[in-house]
Amino acid sequence: MGLSPEQFRVGSLGARTIPSPLKLSRERGDGIANYVYDDTYLLYQVTSEGGERIRSDLRLEVAGPRESILFNPPDTRAAMVTCGGLSPGLNNVIRSMYFELHYKYQVKEVIGFQYGYRGINPARGLEPITITPEFVRTIHNEGGSVLGCSRGAEETSVIVDRLQEMGLSILFCIGGDGTLKGAHAIAEEVRARGARIAIVGVPKTIDNDIPFVYKTFGFDTAVGVVREALQAAHTEAVGTPNGIGLVKVMGRDSGFIAAYGTLASTEVNYCLIPEVPFDLYGEGGLLDHLDRRIRKRGHAVIVVAEGAGQELFKSAARARDESGNILHSDIGVLLRDEINAYFKQTDLSISLKYIDPSYMIRSVRADANDAVFCDNLARSAVHAGMAGKTDLVIGLWHGLNVHVPIPLAISSRKKVNPESNLWRNVTGATGQPLRIGGQEAAR
């Protein structure tokens, strides 16, 4: 994809003239935390290959508190909304965002819209929640979202009407690809009206598939839960003659959870992801490989991402969910049934245990790494919003939080590169071929 410096330019609602109440330092080396200036950038690209020139003009603006802000805190009303599916860490983000707004910036009021974008539409009859210290006191110890989530879009003009009627200055949109597309549409409508409402995103998807964002919150926790499921599958597999453990995990279009779960476990023998097609039947196909492994080792563990192997189903018009995502056919059930059917025709009697921890993965509370990450993302989002920056999402890039323009973040979907170190390490850990079937059958 060809990139231009203009795509990295962050939107702003105007000149900042109000001194920040944070009382941070302007000096380096005085032992006091510092403000971040707008000319602090991080190079998008830091490595080169084959003599390729690193482009110094492709730069991401570093996130953090600004010395001057746009919104006067005593007059500021901020709102937040959680959209899409659940993810570990949602309550952590809500809590930390509120703490930064209320205690550090001392904004006038913070509210939460219920059940995603539908909660902003007055026709839905969902009253916003006034967030207080007592409301968020213990929510970080719970999974889910205290504001509730939902999929699906609402009329953009209706949303902006409501934001203006309520006198809101900032809307924080916490969600994945569909949420960010909605946030961009809202920002565009706000811009067309000449309104002063900042739209700031916090990236949430356990699939970890948002581009220009190294990692999304909830991903680390999800990998930890998957690791436990894979360990259970391995225990079941080795505990019976010719045991097979089959685990299906989330990953509609990107196989990061399956890949990282494999590396965290190191007990997986076959990792199947959407980015790497595989053959199920014939010489060198998965069933052939599995047959040979069971005869040699007596057990096997397979992890499959939900979007893998869709080419194995008969082509037909696919339904979509309320966010517009294609609803995939169930690859886990297909593999379970086909593996059982295959071995019934052989002289081997197998014991297959099928584990689907999908909703358990996304509904647990955040682990320690994600809790820290959520806090960092939330506070960076507040700093951006109070500074009047808009139509952006907070992303982690090369170890720093940065401002990623939403159009850039929704321009594509991040996927596992079959030529990457990640996939090479996965196949090294499992011992599977780089591709199962096809030309690999002859190797």
Nearest-angstrom CA–CA distance, 335 and 329: 11
d(Cα 411, Cα 398) in Å, to the nearest integer?
20
Give residues with Cβ within 8 angstroms of 419, minimum separation 6: none
Phi, psi for residue 140 in degrees, rounded to 5: -70, -10
With H, G, I as helix, E, B as strand and everything else as coil, classify residue 34: strand
- Which one of the listed residues 39, 75, 177, 207 is annotated catalytic? 207
Instruction: Report which secondary-structure segment, H or E, holds 390.
Output: strand 389-390
Radius of gyration of the chain (CA): 24
Contact between 303 and 261 under an 8 Å Cβ cutoff? The reply is yes
Number of other residues whose CB lies within 10 A of the CB of residue 412: 13
Nearest CA-CA partner of 331 in 218, 421, 251: 251
Residues 6+ apart with CB under 8 A from 115: 124, 126, 147, 148, 149, 150
Is 291 among the catalytic positions? Answer: no
Catalytic positions are 207
